[in-house]
């Protein structure tokens, strides 16, 4: 059973007037089959955690460790992380002009699986995943992220999730900008993947809304670059009624 272990993670970025520490000692263990919600105010460092785990070059690890089944994730290239089974659905996915969704998915699947999926079963896999997500078949021929609506971007992320079957899935603000119907469809997709019991999910969100559809095993409150409190699903209810005020008493991140 795959386990992602984050220990005392410190991350900085370069800013105009020097270096800014954003993550200030994050400890978290995510096992396959578990869903962890990471919640917190804007600017608390949630996306930085996601990008750091995915290996984004902007973020410098200044301390701590991240391992997947004992293997040092921080030493891995972005591609190696994907092959090892770490998946990040980007909060603001980039456009890849001229590359169709269909080709993009097949290339990604080839990279992750280590061999090209057999064309015939692959076409079926994509078709059925797209149907489940209520996506029009013509979507497969569009250029990645070019002119995608918010909902289309999110569906595309979940489509990747369903096809790539990662061990650890990091979903950053998957709920942002979705209307209720789209939120239901996207959540159902995440739940189908979860139901397999093979994926450990890090569900990053500012709002508790998505947690009505995707029930977490653990809830962590992120504040000022670290986990300020952890609990079960009931912690989300508390946040819903009380907000984040208690965690940011010292003022916003500086
Ligand atoms: P969240 O996802 O919780 O809203 P972020 O991780 O996006 O928080 O940001 C945390 C803090 O780090 C913010 O103050 C943000 O401005 C800063 N930050 C994040 N990424 C960068 C970057 N690439 N360059 C400069 N500052 C950054
Ligand atoms: Mg933010
Ligand atoms: Mg964010």
pLDDT digits (tens, 9 = 90+) for 1-51: 899 999 999 999 999 999 999 999 999 999 999 999 999 999 999 999 999
The residue nearest atom 6 of ligand 1, judged by CA position, is 45
Question: Candidates 23, 48, 50, 171: which one to mutate for ligand 1, based on the most atoms within 8 Å of Cβ?
Answer: 48
Q: Give the residue from 43, 47, 49 showing the smallest Cα distance to 9.
A: 49
Ligand 1 pocket residue status of 15, Cβ below 6 Å:
yes
Q: Given this model, what pLDDT does residue 202 score?
A: 97
Residue 104 bridge partners (DSSP)? none
**pLDDT tens per residue across span 226-244:** 999 999 999 999 999 999 9
For the CA of 15, the closest atom of ligand 1 is 25
Q: Given this model, what pLDDT does residue 210 score?
A: 94
Q: Is the pLDDT reported for residue 71 higher than 80?
A: yes
Q: Is the pLDDT reported for residue 254 higher than 60?
A: no
For the CA of 91, the closest atom of ligand 1 is 2
Q: Which residue has the tokens 């997709």?
A: 189
Ligand 1 pocket residue status of 43, Cβ below 6 Å:
yes
The residue nearest atom 16 of ligand 1, judged by CA position, is 43
Contact 1, 24 (CB under 8 A): no
- 3-93+166-247 belongs to which homologous superfamily? P-loop containing nucleotide triphosphate hydrolases (3.40.50.300)
**Average confidence score pLDDT of the chain:** 91
Cα distance between residue 108 and residue 122, in whole Å: 12
Which ligand has an atom closest to residue 42 CA?
Answer: 1
Ligand 1 pocket residue status of 46, Cβ below 6 Å:
yes
Ligand 1 pocket residue status of 58, Cβ below 6 Å:
yes
177 phi, psi to nearest 5 deg: 75, 15
Q: Given this model, what pLDDT does residue 36 score?
A: 98
Ligand 1 pocket residue status of 200, Cβ below 6 Å:
no
């Amino acid at each position: 059973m795959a386990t992602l272990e984050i220990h005392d993670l410190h991350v900085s970025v370069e800013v105009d007037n020097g270096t800014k520490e954003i993550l200030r000692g994050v400890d978290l263990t995510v096992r396959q089959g578990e869903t962890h919600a990471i919640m917190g105010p804007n600017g608390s460092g949630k996306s930085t955690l996601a990008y750091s785990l995915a290996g984004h070059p902007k973020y410098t690890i200044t301390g701590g460790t991240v391992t997947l089944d004992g293997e040092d994730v921080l030493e891995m290239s972005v591609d190696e992380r994907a092959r090892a089974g770490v998946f990040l659905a980007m909060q603001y996915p980039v456009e890849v002009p001229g590359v169709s969704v269909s080709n993009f998915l097949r290339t990604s699947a080839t990279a992750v699986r280590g061999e090209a999926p057999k064309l015939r079963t692959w076409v079926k896999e994509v078709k059925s995943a797209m149907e489940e997500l209520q996506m029009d078949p013509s979507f497969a021929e569009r250029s990645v992220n070019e002119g995608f609506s918010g909902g289309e971007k999110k569906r595309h992320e979940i489509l990747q999730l369903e096809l790539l079957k990662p061990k650890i899935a990091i979903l950053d603000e998957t709920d942002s900008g979705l209307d209720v119907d789209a939120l239901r469809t996207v959540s159902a997709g995440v739940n189908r993947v979860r139901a397999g019991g093979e994926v450990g999910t890090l569900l990053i969100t500012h709002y508790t809304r998505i947690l009505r559809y995707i029930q977490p095993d653990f809830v962590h409150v992120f504040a000022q670059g670290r986990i300020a409190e952890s609990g079960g699903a009931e912690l989300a209810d508390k946040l819903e009624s009380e907000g984040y005020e208690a965690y940011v008493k010292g003022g916003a991140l500086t």
